[in-house]
Structure 1
Amino acid sequence: MADKTNTSQGTGAAPAVDSPAAIRNVVLVGPSGAGKTTLVEALLVASGVLNRPGTVLDGTTVCDFDDAEIRQQRSVGLSLASLPSDGVKVNLIDTPGYADFVGELRAGLRAADCALFVVAANEGVDEPTRALWQECDEVGMPRAVVITKLDHARANYENALATARAAFGDKVLPLYRPDGDGLISLLSQSDEALIEGIIEESEDESLMDRYLGGEEIDRKVLIDDLERAVARGSFFPVIPVCSGSGVGTAELLEVITSAFPSPPEHPIPDVFNPHGVPRKGITCDTGGPLLAEVVKTTSDPYVGRVSLVRVFSGTIRPDTTVHVSGHFTSFFGEHNSHQDHDEDERIGTLSFPLGKTQRPAGQVVAGDLCAIGRLTRAETGDTLSDKAEPLLLKPWSMPEPLLPIAVQAHAKTDEDKLGIGLQRLAAEDPTLRIEQNPETHQIVLWCMGEAHSDVVLDALANRYGVTVDTVELRVPLRETFGGAAKGHGRHVKQSGGHGQYAVCDIAVEPLPEGGGFEFVDKVVGGAVPRQFIPSVEKGVRAQMEKGVGAGYPMVDIRVTLLDGKAHSVDSSDMAFQMAGGLALREAAAASRVAMLEPVDLVSVLVPDELVGAVMSDLSGRRGRLLGTDKIGDNRTLVKAEVPQVEITRYTIDLRSLSHGAASFTRHFSRYEAMPESVVAKLK
């Protein structure tokens, strides 16, 4: 396949800084197709890093370099590109807009100190972007809005601006408006709405009275107040940008370098020692203790593992030894694919990424981002620190992957490669959970959605050379007895030589839900010798594991051994195990075997206007509605108990039903009897 990397680099060299104050870490977020990746290209050209921009259509952009991204013509992973502007190093973090790749978005938010919300002039603001704005608002992250695609045939700047203000609030105000081949500064035009918006956020309480009294406020005062309000996260400027012509890129870079905060102005996440004791007093200081975090991991069969790292404190230098801590289980419990680990590793090569191009770095100071080669144990979310003072950052919260995909190696020869490939992909992607289901004996990939699963399977095939088949997911059903029954087990083989002889009679009765298994011995007169009674129980248990009907494990029964026969020579442990299993099967044939299905507690967070549709959909899935709780001003939490077999694809269906506005969680509740009509469909 031809290398479609954009080779039209200008200066190309990585901007070098030795002070955190000269760094801006900016994450680009917004709907898929809004033009984030193309905007990065335009900014790289405007700063001289590239001579000409690449295009998503041609697969030549800096940030979309992965084979899957080039084929799909959309971002599927986080990417970093840095540029110099007015003496400041700007780290642009491009993130996917599609909901399936929210894990990459979360990593980008962790690595950044401020955000650009990118909205296309020909589109609107989708619900996930609205929700993300609210999340950023809750933590006070500084933001600006960029309206792109001004040259699109259906572009409507005024409509896009109104949509953004309706979605994000009245503190979202434009600094410029498009005018032909350029922009007009609204501040220089004495735009009243903009001036009043800036003055409302001023720390000078007398400024509004002076303005309303007719005093003309000095433009420098307004600009200074504007920059402080943006840095505080209380005012959100709108900048129109045409990536194709470059109009607006200079103005956007000015906002980034002058108004967005530097890393020392942004709080550091909570820090602990490996024993969970909080560590206070760490700041963004190049001379402080080393504290860095792996925000993305990529593995390549030829290049090895590359870790994208945000440095919060201290300075990273090549060929030094650091302590690597990964404590997902400590913070989030056992329900993840990342085992806790602590070890020392030697730093390999340091570089500043420009997409997939790695530009060598002599050292990396606090506040900056870099790539580190060949950290063999570091995974996404791990903390790097001084080995003399190990530290631990609480990993950022990740959404739970809720779409199960069952897979198997296409051939026996692929099984080992499949295990290795999945292990490496799990190290890269915290939103991928790998389950080896002990009941169904299936490998289950828990993904964020179909697009996410497609990328995982694509990586297995093209990066690790593993041919994988997707198979029908088996929900772990169980069996139990619908009523009392008796069974006779006779295992006799006496055709010469040492034979096999065992006979047993049992009674089986169902136990209440969760009753497990009970074995009762009521044999009298030594009909079954004492040494063989445990053998009967062992045989019954083995048959319960295999099931007696559809092959699912049997639970919640009491088995009573009533009688039996033995032979002085031919009876053995194995013979009575066989007889016990036969007796259970005969009892099952004489009774009704009921199927039990797992039921989950499902909680759906949904806009108020969609509550009825969601409740109706859950009822159609045999759900039992438990109630609703009001969340905030316009959202409702719907709670229901729903059989697992009905929600294997609920992630996809709910996204379609709500246009991405709803989310849900699911937790195992219990097993309960499956209706006969549903059982019949499974046969």
Structure 2
Amino acid sequence: MGDKANAHPGAAGRARAADHPTSVRNVVLVGHSGSGKTTLVEALALTAGAVNRAGRVEDGATLSDFDDIEHRQQRSVQLSLVPVEWNGIKVNLLDTPGYADFVGELRAGLRAADAALFVVSASDGVDGATRMVWDECAAVRMPRAIVVTHLESARADLEEMTRICAQAFGGDDPDAVLPLYLPLRGPAGPDGHAPVTGLIGLLSQQLFDYSTGERVESDPDADRLPLIAEARDRLIEGIIAESEDESLMDRYVGGEPIDLKTLIDDLERAVARGVFFPVLAAAPAPQGARQGLGTVELLDLVTGGFPTPLEREAPRVTTVDGRPRELKPCDPGGPLVAEVVKTSSDPYVGRVSLVRVFSGTLRPDETVHVSGHGLTDRGHEDHDVDERVGALSAPFGKQQRAVTHCIAGDLASVSKLNRAETGDTLSAKDDPLLMEPWEMPDPLLPLAIQAHSKPDEDKLSQGLARLVAEDPTMRLEQNQSTHQVVLWCLGEAHADVALERLRARYGVQVDVVPHRVSLRETFADRSAGRGRHVKQSGGHGQYAICEIEVEPLPNGSGIEFVDKVVGGAVPRQFIPSVEKGVRAQAAKGVAAGYPLVDVRVTLLDGKAHSVDSSDAAFQTAGALALREAAGDSRIHLLEPVVEVSVLVGDDYVGAVMSDLSGRRGRVLGTEQTSGARTLVRAEVPEIEIGRYAVDLRSLSHGTARFHRAYARHEPMPPQVAERLREQLRTS
């Protein structure tokens, strides 16, 4: 770490292919949108020598050469990998989007990483969504550290932000979240604000001054030592409390000085075990400088304190038929097990898959087995095929740098895997294996689309298939009831990116149309109808008369057809024709054009002609009879009702319940859960929650989640049904 008495060797150049898992660190950067994650990655790359002062490398690539859509959106929308090298260690920096709509990219980063850097803006603080991700990491004991950014802000207060982070992330043990450094401030400006120009190491009691654009280390003045004594003592106590050496606390309390190396070693072990969470500060390098404030200290922490891939428990692995398979942790010589954590398309090389290798070694031009991912409900087919690996490379902005291999614990991009999608497992073709998939959020915002023109219609199917292959958080639905193509997304920004990718990447222009829910019709009471189809136009005519009775049935009964004809009034061969006509009319609807359900249709009587009666005539008569019965009865519109479960912080329970009631919802109950959260269960008409994914995020400041499941269809209130019919008449 930065307190290692200047142990770092400085810039180490661009990252290479790792030779052993101990020389790899996989780190995901987490934080809300605008917290400074991408800027921090650029600063770390500059300090590590991966880019020059202009942000470029020898081949002209820059870290800013990301997706064109990101430039138009003015925010990160996808996971990106930047490999750098420091102290002889390859560090894979996984930069994730901070906006909630792209949480799928965040989860992919968490899957690929072994530790997390939580990036917190000194001017914005800690939001609820970041706390939720922290809790997810805590559940799997992922090692974490906190980086405070935006120190140049006039409101920036590193000490106060450290206190806020301890309160937000410390839980029952705020002493597990402590700073490793205090800010070193320069002279105050005209506004009275004293900028942070360096750091004071609490363990080494050394000053690290970045005011000149280069890191300068020196001993502190005597008058500074009392200022850091209290924070230093608290940090040492926090480290010793998590030490595996139980005698260390007794020695410390007894007044025995603990040497610096022992403290640093214990600190690194506590961080790697996920029981101690240091707070650091970082800022980009000023113009013309090579090192940003705190970047050396942060790289030292990552390489010295974060665990190697060998220390991570691998996800559960089975054979493709479900039998458990035991593997050594992160063994480069073991059977190949790798996972596709991200899929993208390149206009020149086609599909590119970012993979994390968990076992074995992946090499170019070898044939691997691709196993499916269990997301068939989202339009992603399961896979069980062999494919030939193309080139292996390490991404850097838009550039791909060729590598010779990728060992267990490392990440690389793979080209020409035309069938593999995000979440798929790559394994040896003669030993196919399957990794347990990671949890993906449910897309709950519907986006109904249609092709803009005939040429677009021809390309739409292929474009949508490629789109959902890249993004497992998106679900494609071909709704058979409404005859709409629906993309289910995580939010409005997610939907905007999907439309932009269809247009810019796949050349498909689509129009967004109102999303329709699957309404139904049913009879409110018993009714009778007579269908008379008699025509004579030369030659054989058409003759069929039938009389029916219709009565409502319980929800979910469908349509029953009962024959009670006596005396052969309707010949036996034409009774199925009447039923066919009734069912065909029911599918078209009898009032507002929605399918008719939950009725019993009884054929009572009718008439036939020995010459002019036919199958077609009795089908027509059956349909006419059903329409006449509907004209003499009240017809209920049935709307789908969904069961909604909302997990929300206790502070927002009242607002959520009030909002659900305003959507004609019925709150069924609440359950207290861990983490000061409540599960609210309700039943809500589907027509009322089309935008609930967006509205709930706003209502709860991004801290609530919800799930929905179809419950049943039930009658729509008369005033709502009339309003809907009026919309149909005027549209």
- TM-score category of the 2 structures, normalised to the smaller one: over 0.9
Which residue of the partner structure matches residue 192 of structure 1?
A: 233
Deviation of 1:509 (Å): 0.5
> Mean Cα displacement is larger for which, 187-196 or 345-354?
187-196
Whole-angstrom distance in 1 between the partners of 2:54 and 2:612: 85
Q: Is the 2:312–2:329 contact (alpha carbons within 8 Å) kept by the matching residues of 1? A: no
SS in 2 for 1:626: strand
Alpha-carbon displacement from aligned partner over 1:389-413 (angstroms, at most 9, x marks no partner): 1000011001111111111111122
Structure 1 position 119 matched with structure 2 position 161: no
Which residue of the partner structure matches residue 191 of structure 2?
A: none
Which residue of the partner structure matches residue 155 of structure 2?
A: 154
Which residue of the partner structure matches residue 694 of structure 2?
A: 652
Which amino acid counterpart does residue 104 of structure 2 have in structure 1?
Answer: G
Whole-angstrom distance in 2 between the partners of 1:463 and 1:74: 18
Whole-angstrom distance in 2 between the partners of 1:177 and 1:95: 28
> Mean Cα displacement is larger for which, 182-191 or 217-226?
182-191
Structure 1 position 253 matched with structure 2 position 299: yes
Deviation of 1:419 (Å): 1.0
Which residue of the partner structure matches residue 130 of structure 2?
A: 129
TM-score by length of 2: 0.89
Which residue of the partner structure matches residue 678 of structure 2?
A: 636
Seen in structure 2, the aligned counterparts of structure 1 residues 301 and 439 have a Cα distance that, compared at 3 Å, is farther
Which residue of the partner structure matches residue 192 of structure 2?
A: none
Whole-angstrom distance in 2 between the partners of 1:184 and 1:345: 54
TM-score by length of 1: 0.96
**1:173-252 maps to which residues of 2 (within 5 A)?**
173-180=178-185, 181-189=197-205, 191-245=232-286, 246-252=292-298
Q: Is the 1:38–1:61 contact (alpha carbons within 8 Å) kept by the matching residues of 2? A: no
Alpha-carbon displacement from aligned partner over 1:535-586 (angstroms, at most 9, x marks no partner): 1101111111111111111100000111112222222211111111111111
Deviation of 1:17 (Å): 1.9
Structure 1 position 105 matched with structure 2 position 92: no
Q: Is the 1:47–1:83 contact (alpha carbons within 8 Å) kept by the matching residues of 2? A: yes
Which residue of the partner structure matches residue 600 of structure 1?
A: 642
Deviation of 1:209 (Å): 1.6
Which residue of the partner structure matches residue 226 of structure 2?
A: none
Equivalent pairs: percent with the same residue?
Answer: 66
Which amino acid counterpart does residue 274 of structure 2 have in structure 1?
Answer: G
Which residue of the partner structure matches residue 446 of structure 1?
A: 488
Alpha-carbon displacement from aligned partner over 1:435-458 (angstroms, at most 9, x marks no partner): 000000001111000010000001
Whole-angstrom distance in 1 between the partners of 2:689 and 2:285: 44
Q: Is the 2:81–2:93 contact (alpha carbons within 8 Å) kept by the matching residues of 1? A: yes
SS in 1 for 2:378: coil
Seen in structure 2, the aligned counterparts of structure 1 residues 288 and 350 have a Cα distance that, compared at 3 Å, is same
Structure 1 position 402 matched with structure 2 position 444: yes
Match of 1:262 among 294, 305, 308: 308
SS in 2 for 1:492: strand
Deviation of 1:281 (Å): 2.8
Whole-angstrom distance in 2 between the partners of 1:501 and 1:415: 44
Deviation of 1:212 (Å): 1.4
Which amino acid counterpart does residue 376 of structure 1 have in structure 2?
Answer: N
Seen in structure 2, the aligned counterparts of structure 1 residues 97 and 597 have a Cα distance that, compared at 3 Å, is same
Seen in structure 2, the aligned counterparts of structure 1 residues 64 and 551 have a Cα distance that, compared at 3 Å, is farther
SS in 1 for 2:278: strand
Which residue of the partner structure matches residue 7 of structure 1?
A: none
Q: Is the 1:242–1:248 contact (alpha carbons within 8 Å) kept by the matching residues of 2? A: yes
SS in 2 for 1:533: helix
SS in 2 for 1:119: strand
Q: Is the 1:41–1:61 contact (alpha carbons within 8 Å) kept by the matching residues of 2? A: no
Which amino acid counterpart does residue 143 of structure 1 have in structure 2?
Answer: R
Which amino acid counterpart does residue 360 of structure 2 have in structure 1?
Answer: G
Seen in structure 2, the aligned counterparts of structure 1 residues 439 and 634 have a Cα distance that, compared at 3 Å, is same
Which residue of the partner structure matches residue 704 of structure 2?
A: 662
Q: Is the 2:12–2:48 contact (alpha carbons within 8 Å) kept by the matching residues of 1? A: no
Q: Is the 1:328–1:336 contact (alpha carbons within 8 Å) kept by the matching residues of 2? A: no
User: Structure 1: where are the runs of 5+ without partners?
Assistant: 1-9
Q: Is the 1:348–1:372 contact (alpha carbons within 8 Å) kept by the matching residues of 2? A: yes
Q: Is the 2:13–2:48 contact (alpha carbons within 8 Å) kept by the matching residues of 1? A: no
Match of 1:461 among 503, 514, 519: 503
Which residue of the partner structure matches residue 36 of structure 1?
A: 37
Match of 2:369 among 313, 316, 323: 323
Q: Is the 2:366–2:389 contact (alpha carbons within 8 Å) kept by the matching residues of 1? A: yes
Which amino acid counterpart does residue 175 of structure 1 have in structure 2?
Answer: L
Q: Is the 1:64–1:70 contact (alpha carbons within 8 Å) kept by the matching residues of 2? A: no
Whole-angstrom distance in 2 between the partners of 1:393 and 1:642: 37
Which residue of the partner structure matches residue 579 of structure 1?
A: 621
Match of 2:465 among 412, 423, 435: 423
Whole-angstrom distance in 2 between the partners of 1:64 and 1:197: 42
Which residue of the partner structure matches residue 290 of structure 1?
A: 336
Alpha-carbon displacement from aligned partner over 1:266-291 (angstroms, at most 9, x marks no partner): 11100000011110133211111000
Q: Is the 2:21–2:309 contact (alpha carbons within 8 Å) kept by the matching residues of 1? A: yes
Whole-angstrom distance in 1 between the partners of 2:613 and 2:403: 76
Seen in structure 2, the aligned counterparts of structure 1 residues 166 and 63 have a Cα distance that, compared at 3 Å, is farther
Whole-angstrom distance in 2 between the partners of 1:478 and 1:375: 44
Match of 1:560 among 589, 602, 608: 602
